[in-house]
Structure 1
Amino acid sequence: MEGWLKESGAVGLDALELAEFPVIGRGVRTLRRFNEGERILTIPRDVLWTVEHAYADPLLGPVLRSARPPLSVDDTLATYILFVRSRESGYDGLRSHLAAVPKSYSSSIFFTEDELEVCAGTSLYAITKQLGRCIEDDYRALVYKWALCTVWSRAMDFALPDGKSVRLLAPFADMLNHSSEVRQCHAYDPLSGNLSILAGKGYEAGDQVFIHYGSVPNNRLLRLYGFVIPSNPNDSYDLVLETHPLAPFFEQKRKLWALAGLDSTSTISLTLTDPLPNNVLRYLRIQRSDESDLAAVALQQADPKYEKISNSSEVEALQFLIESFSGILDSFGTQPEKLEEQLAEGLYPSGGNAWAAAHVSLGEQQVLRLARKRAEDMLAAVERGSGIEKGSLSAAAQCANCKKDFVQLMTCGRCKAVKYCGRTCQVAHYKEHKAKCQYTGSQTK
């Protein structure tokens, strides 16, 4: 591969070499000293794997360009990789690059059922299961998984000045491993189309060269790159908030979400440093509003400092959030204390798939526990400041038909006097409620 790259105009290969490192595996080693910020390597545009190059291929390009619907960037690159790998001539340089990439990956999509069960309940578990359902487990699917993982684990993404972006694979440069101890040090020149690697720190001869993938949580590291960082400070949990289009006042709420910079389905990242972002409660305040609350929310949207609609509605939203976090945490296969004990006892061999899955589960559960604690603290503060007796709201929020307690109930649109847990109970209770509903309604005219 190095000979082909030199012939193609790559610069810097004489000072670097591929090498095997303990634990981390294959990487790139320096053959001389480099100062921080010094240019280490330049890979010319003509040898980069991009969608543009795939479309320009005389054989595969016409097929890709005519695909309807068009293939995604990842699918296009994976198809291009498999196409080049299948050719016996005409692609010697690109084939030499593929010969150097791993023959297998430790990304979560290749985990056994038992290995994946270690992180049951995590977002990684759900996404991996979804990916598995999308790809049938036959020979062709396994080969395609390999190609996709080659893209996921080795691609670099760059934002362009025109607002667009480019995803590419760079031969040799894709052998560089990640370290959080170096700064961002790979750059794409949109004018020349070349990729450059700079020294993210000072290196002595014989050191391993690293690049920085970004502040990536373990669930993403394991899904895309096949490794984790124990006690990763960037661990997170992606909380998905969504509302059905048939929910009461959906269109009014959709407009209010848009004003708040949110969507009816919003994914909000909870992190160790910010376990309960403001947007979570902003979303829930709108979602859980009745007709009288919506006008207040609309007025508050003009004030970026608004905190709540009312004490009672805030208590209701926070109680719902606490119950939701508790439900999510209960869905995890193993509690953090048990996972830590199992890791300490060596139940999961260090560096193995189950070991990595355990660290993903630990990180997500830590974030969720912090989020729940933050919500509990906020609830206590609201109850203290408003004089609301602790737990009184949830005890009073009872469905008029089934008599069960709920944090969120729908109100009878006519009399506003009774509440139901859903449409089924409202219809079932109507005969009993009809007379009172009409009477109450006439009194309020």
Structure 2
Amino acid sequence: MKKRSQPGRVARRRKRKLNTSVQSVTLCHQEQYVRLIRFLKQKGFTSTILQPAHFSDTGRGLQTLKTLKPGQRLISLPQTCLLTTAAVLSSYLGPFIKGWTPRPSPLLVLCVFLVLERHRSPLSEWFPYIDVLPTAYTCPVYFTDDVMNVLPVTVRGRALEQRASVQELHSSNKHFFRSLQPLVDESVEKVFTYEALRWAWCTVNTRSVFMSHSPSPFLSGQDVCALAPFLDLLNHRPDVQVSAHFNSATRCYEIHSVTGIDCYQQAFINYGCHDNQRLLLEYGFVTTNNPHSVVYVDTDSLCKVLQGDNGLEQKMGFLRENEFLSNLTISSEGPGWRLMTVVRVLSLTNTQQGQWKAVLLGQILCEERERWCTQTIRTLCVHALKDTDTALEKISQMLLQCEAPLTEQLGVVMALRQEERCILGKCLDSLITQNQVFFEH
């Protein structure tokens, strides 16, 4: 048998370049991570496959210390290491929760415990975990009004709702906070500020894992969250496949890699098939080249493009009654099915009402109407691109005048806008090609 020749100098250089394109620096010797691992080992954690590291492309994450084969377990975190409502109820805070009416939600209980433990640091039991948590987040609930104003319209509305819900959580539970005065050494109003609760809410919202719990007589609502120290250092990547669940047999939260990971590479998990707007809202970041990302089209933009149509109001009312005016999207490949269906209905006249319902059920129109629909989508893309470019220009100006943390907030919004500009550009290219096909026929 002929022996395979050794790779040449060019191949070695290429491989070396690929291996060094992302730089990493281990963090495992830093005091806060040494303290965290010691804390978890005392609670039964034994994993040595991963180590905390800083990566040049994603920031902090977890690095593999050996090659993982497909299906191999990435991490196993004992239940004793998880911060759950059961752990809170068995703590010093438990009696205050059990004696309070109305029953608090699991979310509120976890938030209150985090605020208290942060206040008690460095003497708190959970200080090793609190100490490695971010001190602030880039979720929209942290955004200033100026940053909110450069968000796309569709995500801005949801971001404002998110902010309002956290404000409501704080304002509606002030009596409960006051009942906790015996647990703090200063005025409870100074401990349970809106800023403190916002930090705790973002910690739970961005870092918790799904774990179903038995109903508690002391809590109201569904209890499905757990905070997982160390495990929550794993970053998200949309093309990664993992299996994650709580193993009732081992009493551990386990993650298995579906495809395997090379040694000394960053280990990723997948938070779900989320587009960038969802990632920004829920986790405070966006990913480049996200295959799930789309641009959302709001009804105001539709009405602006078709403002000369005298029957527009009636058709919009019909679409609203049939719940067709939400989740209207544009992807790199073209308009989503719901958006295209809506535009097809809007292409018809009031005298063609008999066809409206048929179009909702999937009926295709004549070639002339289909061409009109394609042109309308193209106009929507052009308007959206103009809005995106205006926002990016404004963000660039704001970045010249601001400091952190505003810089971080604007950076995330800029990344979102840039990804959406890329999607719109690709969609326009596909529509031009589609239009050319129409004319050829």
TM-score (norm 2): 0.61
Identity across the alignment (%) = 19
CA distance in 2, matches of 1:254, 1:123: 17
Select 1:363's aligned residue among 419, 423, 426: 419
- Structure (1 or 2) with the larger CA radius of gyration: 1
Deviation at 1:43, TM superposition (A): 1.7
- Give, as a single letter, the amino acid of the residue that structure 2 aligns with 1:307: I
| Unmatched segments (≥5 aa) in structure 1 | 258-262, 386-445
1:23-38 alignment to 2 at 5 Å? 24-32=58-66, 34-38=68-72
Distance 1:339 1:5, change over 3 A: same
Distance change in 2, residues 1:40/1:367 (3 Å): closer
- Partner AA of 1:102 in structure 2: P
8 Å Cα contact 1:176-1:210 kept in structure 2: yes
Q: Is the 8 A contact 1:107 1:223 kept in 2?
A: yes
Contact 2:238/2:290, CA 8 A, preserved across alignment: no
Counterparts in 2 of 1:82 and 1:60: CA distance versus 1, 3 Å: farther
2:5 equivalent to 1:5: no
- Unaligned runs of at least 5 residues, structure 2: 1-35, 171-189, 214-221, 304-311
Q: Distance in 1 between matches of 2:37 and 2:79?
A: 16
Partner of 1:102: 134
| Equivalences, count | 359
Instruction: Answer yes or no: is 1:307 the counterpart of 2:339.
Output: no
Q: CA RMSD in A?
A: 4.9
In structure 1, what is the Cα distance between the partners aligned to 2:327 and 2:108? 24
What letter matches 2:418 in structure 1?
Answer: L
Taking structure 1 as reference, are residues 116 and 316 closer, same or farther at Cα in structure 2, changes over 3 Å only? Answer: same
Matched letter for residue 27 of structure 1: G
> Alpha carbons of 1:354 and 1:252: their partners in 2 closer, same or farther (altered >3 Å)?
closer
CA apart distance, 1:132:
4.8
CA distance in 1, matches of 2:242, 2:438: 43
Over 3 Å counting, the alpha-carbon distance change for 1:78 and 1:198 in structure 2 is same
Specify whether residues 227 and 121 from structure 1 end up closer, same or farther in structure 2 by C-alpha distance, changes over 3 A only: closer
Task: Report if the CA contact (8 A) 1:36-1:203 is conserved.
Answer: no
Residue 325 in 1 paired to residue 390 in 2? no
Aligned twin of 2:73? 39
In the TM superposition, 1:13-412 aligns within 5 A as 14-22=48-56, 24-32=58-66, 34-50=68-84, 58-59=94-95, 61-62=97-98, 66=102, 77-86=110-119, 92=125, 94-110=126-142, 119-121=150-152, 123-124=154-155, 127-128=158-159, 131-132=162-163, 140-157=193-210, 166-179=224-237, 182-189=240-247, 194-199=252-257, 201-204=260-263, 207-241=265-299, 248=314, 253=319, 257=322, 263-272=323-332, 274-286=333-345, 292-299=351-358, 304=362, 306-308=363-365, 310=366, 314=370, 317-334=373-390, 353-374=409-430
Contact 2:334 2:431 in 1 (8 A): no
Using the size of structure 1 for normalisation, the TM-score is 0.61
CA distance in 1, matches of 2:51, 2:133: 15
Q: Secondary structure at the match of 1:266?
A: coil
Q: Please state how far the C-alpha of 1:54 moved relative to its aligned partner.
A: 5.9
Structure 2 SS opposite 1:153: helix
Equivalent residue of 1:285, what SS?
Answer: helix
Displacement of 1:196 in angstroms is 0.6
Amino acid of the residue matched to residue 266 of structure 1? S
- Rate the CA distance shift 1:383–1:254 in 2: closer, same or farther, 3 A: farther
Question: 2-side partners of 1:5 and 1:97: how far apart?
Answer: 9
Deviation of 1:269 after TM superposition, in Å, equals 3.9
Q: Per-residue deviation at 1:124? A: 5.0
Contact kept? 2:335, 2:377, Cα under 8 Å? no
CA offset digits 1:226-246 (Å, max 9, x no partner): 4444455544222345999x9
Shift, 1:281, TM fit? 1.7
Aligned residue type for 1:324:
L
- Paired with 2:223 and 2:98, the residues of 1 have a C-alpha distance of 23
Question: Secondary structure at 1:40's aligned position in 2?
Answer: strand
In structure 2, distance between residues paired with 1:45 and 1:292: 64
- State the Cα distance separating 1:216 from its structure 2 match: 4.5
Secondary structure in 2 matching 1:100: coil
- Per-residue CA deviations over 1:293-322 (Å, capped at 9, x if unaligned) read 3333434666x5x222x5565566555444
Amino acid at match of 2:73: R
Change (3 A) 1:341 1:216: same
The one-letter code sitting in structure 2 at the alignment partner of 1:280 is L
